[in-house]
Structure formats: structure tokens, C-alpha cells
């Protein structure tokens, strides 16, 4: 997709950028289906994807909400961190919840250093790392915000790798 990736969200122009006035049907990544030309679309430059306006508004709603709840998210991480290194079903659940929470609450940067970074990396260092990432990818199919956060924080390449290893599980 053309456009300046630095700008984050980039609103599409329903009437067509070239002034052609012809809107086309498009594939919406968030809904995982093709919408007709009458549906308003939004280009998300950070993911390089197009989604419908309805999903865009839903994502923005979550985005603003999680920014107000970063502390709550951080507390959730602290509650989980005691379990993430456990080699048990509970440990697996805690790892999935920890990773999901980190991306959902946009706390990945905060976790990249400091005392909790060890717990974050532990989530991917147990034998079930592929299963953990598969669970997170599955959750991202219901939440474009989570997908957005994953792509933004992991980068396109690593995200693709996570997605591809999900298919094989």
C-alpha cells in the first residue's frame, strides 16, 4: 500500500484519491471478508491493511480505552508474572494472558527493559512458545486493535512468522 508509514492512521478517501469518484469493493482484514464499494474504508498505514470504518472506530475506541487503563494492565501483568515460568497448564494460561495483556494494553515497550522484561521473555522461552503465540494470533482475529499492536510491536516479518506457525498448529 502506498502512503507514508510514519503517520500511523491514514483515513481513506471514499470518493477516490484521484478524483475518479469510483469506489471499489475491498477486502477488510478486520472482518476477514470483502465489503461492497458503499462501505467506507480506512487505510491503516502501520499494518499496510485496509479495514472498514466500523472496525476502525471500534479499534480507536479500544485504543483510547487501554491508554486510560495502562496501570490496570500493568497490575494484571504483575499478578501473572509469578506463574509465567511454571511448567504447567496454569503456567501456559498465564503466559498467554501475559503476552495478550502486554500487547492489548500497549505495554510492550515498558516490558522491554526493567525487572519485568525477564517474565515477558520467559513467555517465549518455555517449550510451548508456539502454542502461546498461536493463542495470541487467534485472539487477534477478533480484535483488530490486538492485530495492530502485534504488527506495530513485532514488525511485519515476525508477525508473519507468528501467523504462519499458527496455521501449522
Q: Given the rule CB under 5 A, which residues bind Zn ion?
A: 28, 31, 52, 55
Burial of 129 (0-12, 13-18, 19+ CB in 10 A): middle
- Residue 124 Cβ, how far from Zn ion at the closest point, in Å? 31
- Residue 35 Cβ, how far from Zn ion at the closest point, in Å? 6
**Residue number, 35 or 105, with CB nearest to Zn ion:** 35
**Residue number, 92 or 144, with CB nearest to Zn ion:** 144
- Residue 2 Cβ, how far from Zn ion at the closest point, in Å? 21
DSSP for the chain, written as a single string: --S-GGGSEE---TT-TTS------EEETTTTEEEPTTS-EEEETTTTEEEEHHHHHHHHHHHHHHHHTHHHHHHHHHHHTTTTT-SSHHHHHHHHHHHHHHHHTT-HHHHSSSTTHHHHHHTTTSTTHHHHHHHHHHHHTS-HHHHHHHHHHH-HHHHHHHHHHHHT-
- Residue 42 Cβ, how far from Zn ion at the closest point, in Å? 10
**Residue number, 81 or 147, with CB nearest to Zn ion:** 147
**Residue number, 31 or 126, with CB nearest to Zn ion:** 31
**Residue number, 51 or 137, with CB nearest to Zn ion:** 51
- Residue 32 Cβ, how far from Zn ion at the closest point, in Å? 8
Amino acid at each position: 500500500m502506498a502512503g507514508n508509514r510514519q503517520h500511523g492512521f491514514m483515513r481513506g478517501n471514499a470518493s477516490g484519491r484521484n478524483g475518479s469518484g469510483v469506489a471499489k469493493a475491498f477486502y477488510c482484514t478486520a472482518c476477514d471478508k470483502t465489503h461492497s464499494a458503499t462501505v467506507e474504508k480506512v487505510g491503516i498505514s502501520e499494518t499496510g491493511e485496509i479495514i472498514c470504518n466500523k472496525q476502525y472506530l471500534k479499534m480507536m475506541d479500544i485504543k483510547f480505552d487501554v491508554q486510560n487503563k495502562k496501570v490496570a494492565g500493568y497490575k494484571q501483568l504483575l499478578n501473572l508474572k509469578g506463574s509465567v515460568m511454571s511448567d504447567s497448564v496454569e503456567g501456559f494460561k498465564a503466559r498467554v494472558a501475559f503476552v495478550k495483556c502486554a500487547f492489548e494494553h500497549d505495554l510492550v515497550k515498558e516490558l522491554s527493559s526493567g525487572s519485568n522484561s525477564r517474565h515477558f521473555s520467559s513467555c517465549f522461552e518455555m517449550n510451548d512458545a508456539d502454542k502461546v503465540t498461536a493463542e495470541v494470533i487467534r485472539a487477534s482475529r477478533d480484535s483488530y486493535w490486538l492485530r495492530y499492536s502485534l504488527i506495530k510491536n513485532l514488525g511485519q516479518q515476525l508477525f508473519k512468522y507468528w501467523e504462519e506457525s499458527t496455521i501449522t498448529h
